[in-house]
Structure 1
Amino acid sequence: MPEVTARGVRFHVQTCGPGRSESPGPGRSEGRGGSSPDEGPAGPVVVFVHGLAIDNLSSFYYTLAWPVAEAGARCVLYDLRGHGRTERPPTGYSVPDAVADLFAVLDALGHHRVHLVANSFGGAVALNAALAHPGRVAGLALIEAYGPGDGPDWNRDFLNRLAQSALKLEYEWTADLLDPGERRRSRAAATADALLNGTTLLDDLTSTDPVRPAALASVACPVLAIYGQHSDMAEAGRLLRRHVPDCEPHTLTGYAHILLPDGTAEILEVLLPWLAHHAGTRAPAAGAAR
């Protein structure tokens, strides 16, 4: 299993596309940074940042990553702290921590300037990363992204859903212990249970601030914003459209917050041309995403 150690945590990393042979090997660890943009013959670097709890890098690996790699990008996927096959420390789950983790992983891999493709909570990480280090983020493709907000209760519903999930997983885990033959829980559900009920994630996210309109106005890179027609995150999409200087918004008809995997083809129809224009990957043939 490819790994890098960054900020004292072992991160599970996968790569695909041109230059994938530079996947981390022995001795690749934190502290190795680059200073020049990751462009040129090997192709631009596109980094995928997944969502919270039940999610991990596989949601991108089996949907968007390989088509993007086939278009000429070097794709990097990693499991966030505590998710998937990445190590799960008890603390460090705030958005600033996730941003610091992202850049530490990129430093370990030797990537300096990248494009970020982010889903759900990963959007909050990617957006804050672009604000924290604008010279390192060449573009943002945000899919149903959390992060933008302009009120005191911007993350209330999000946190309530996570808390309800934590209670449900804790109950099901107790039921499993009482009757092990009743059900088999998936590895992903077990990981989510340990993450929500065994770390400071919920407390860390409670203190997270939204990215307000004034900060959105300072986003220096081009942004692709993809939201579902029936999404409960529609206001975040509207804020991006109104305040980010270079924002290309898209609404996918018939979808709510969950776009992957069912909306993969529709996402690729807008993502691949956007990457071709802003990152220099190959433009897809008409209808290729389907």
Structure 2
Amino acid sequence: MPEVTVRGIRFHAQTMDPPRGAAPGAPVVVFVHGLVIDNLSSFYYTLAGPVSAAGARAVLYDLRGHGRSELTPAGYRAADGVEDLFGVLDALGHRQPVYLVSNSFGGVVALNAALARPGRVAGLVMIESYGPAEHAGEWTEDMLNTIGRSALALEYERLADQLLAIGWRKGGRQAQTAHALINGTSLLDDLAAVEPVRPAALAALDCPVLAVYGEHSDIVAAGRLLLRSVPGCTLHIMAGHAHTVLREGTAELLGVMLPWLAHHAGTRVPVMAAGGAA
């Protein structure tokens, strides 16, 4: 299990190298997953393999307190996520500009990373990503309410014990991890303090951005705000989808994302993906 230590904290990371014979100096594409019941596996089994096969070096890591990364009592602010991200990349030896692919809350980390250190981010792929908003509380309140309800179920309904009792070990372990994260750390307080990235800051982004949101998503307005505010933004709305486009719309997502990476990062477009995007 590959691990790196960043600021005294242990992080689990995985790398998928491009095929042998790929052009030297392969672009690095880093995947940043969402909160609580999520980890790097959500990208490992969907996007990372095809991106690597297209000629990029795919880097995946578990956020602090998620998956196999270390759980800490505090440190879940957006700024902590940014420092963790660049710390992991430094530890892996990736100091060149990278492409960040984010899903859900991972967009908060990716977007703030691009603003904090623009010289290290070559481009952003925002998949159903939180982060941009015109006013405070537009998405944080809903997210906190959702996580708060999960906290109650985990604490008082002993969800993890119930899942383990019926033999669902994977679900039980995930519930145990979520319980420790939500009820045993500063996560909720840190999320409550997150400020959205507003239009003026978005306008300062000088890297290309691909925004992909579901037609029926509760946060599709974030994608439209990115399109209006970021000079180099491309928006793709996935018809018939809501927030789960990564899992339920993987083929269409790849059909949009791989050509975008080919144009901006110099990877190749597999024939099947090119045909699907046509």
Q: Which runs of structure 1 show a deviation greater than 6 angstroms over 4 or more consecutive aligned residues?
A: none
Name the counterpart of 1:55. 38
For 1:15, the aligned partner's letter is T
When structure 1 is superposed on structure 2, of 167-176 and 46-55 the one drifting more is: 167-176
1:234, distance to aligned residue in structure 2 (A): 1.2
Aligned equivalents of 2:53, 2:146: Cα separation in 1:
36
Greater percentage in helix: 2
For 2:49, the aligned partner's letter is W
Aligned equivalents of 2:10, 2:101: Cα separation in 1:
22
Are residues 1:98 and 2:84 paired?
no
For 1:206, the aligned partner's letter is A
Name the counterpart of 1:194. 180
Aligned equivalents of 1:129, 1:152: Cα separation in 2:
19
The SS at the match of 2:152 is helix
Q: Which runs of 5+ in 2 are unaligned?
A: none
Name the counterpart of 1:87. 70
Match of 1:71 among 51, 54, 62: 54
Contact 1:121–1:147, Cα closer than 8 Å, also in 2: yes
Name the counterpart of 2:120. 136
What CA deviation, in whole Å up to 9, does each residue of 1:72-115 have, x standing for no partner?
00000000000000000100000110001000001111112100
1:61, distance to aligned residue in structure 2 (A): 0.1
Name the counterpart of 2:6. 6
Q: Which runs of 5+ in 1 are unaligned?
A: 21-38
For 1:232, the aligned partner's letter is D
1:192, distance to aligned residue in structure 2 (A): 1.1
Contact 2:212–2:235, Cα closer than 8 Å, also in 1: yes
1:165, distance to aligned residue in structure 2 (A): 1.1
| Root mean square deviation, CA, Å | 2.0
Q: CA 1:180 to 1:133, structure 2 compared with 1: closer, same or farther past 3 Å?
A: closer
Aligned equivalents of 2:136, 2:28: Cα separation in 1:
36
Aligned equivalents of 1:43, 1:209: Cα separation in 2:
34
Q: CA 1:100 to 1:180, structure 2 compared with 1: closer, same or farther past 3 Å?
A: closer
Are residues 1:234 and 2:220 paired?
yes
Aligned equivalents of 1:196, 1:181: Cα separation in 2:
22
Q: Name the % identity.
A: 64
Name the counterpart of 2:261. 275
Aligned equivalents of 2:72, 2:7: Cα separation in 1:
11
Q: How does 1:148-227 map to 2 (within 5 A)?
A: 148-154=132-138, 155-173=140-158, 176=161, 181=165, 184=168, 185-227=171-213
Q: CA 1:194 to 1:206, structure 2 compared with 1: closer, same or farther past 3 Å?
A: same
Q: CA 1:281 to 1:183, structure 2 compared with 1: closer, same or farther past 3 Å?
A: same
Q: CA 1:162 to 1:181, structure 2 compared with 1: closer, same or farther past 3 Å?
A: closer
Contact 1:265–1:289, Cα closer than 8 Å, also in 2: no
1:260, distance to aligned residue in structure 2 (A): 2.2
Aligned equivalents of 2:108, 2:218: Cα separation in 1:
15
Aligned equivalents of 1:145, 1:53: Cα separation in 2:
15
**Normalised TM-score (structure 1):** 0.89
1:43, distance to aligned residue in structure 2 (A): 0.7
Contact 1:227–1:251, Cα closer than 8 Å, also in 2: yes
The SS at the match of 2:122 is strand
Contact 1:266–1:289, Cα closer than 8 Å, also in 2: no
Q: CA 1:289 to 1:210, structure 2 compared with 1: closer, same or farther past 3 Å?
A: farther
When structure 1 is superposed on structure 2, of 115-124 and 254-263 the one drifting more is: 254-263
**Normalised TM-score (structure 2):** 0.92
Aligned equivalents of 2:117, 2:109: Cα separation in 1:
12
Contact 2:19–2:55, Cα closer than 8 Å, also in 1: no
Match of 2:250 among 258, 264, 271: 264
Name the counterpart of 1:253. 239
The SS at the match of 1:261 is helix
1:173, distance to aligned residue in structure 2 (A): 2.1
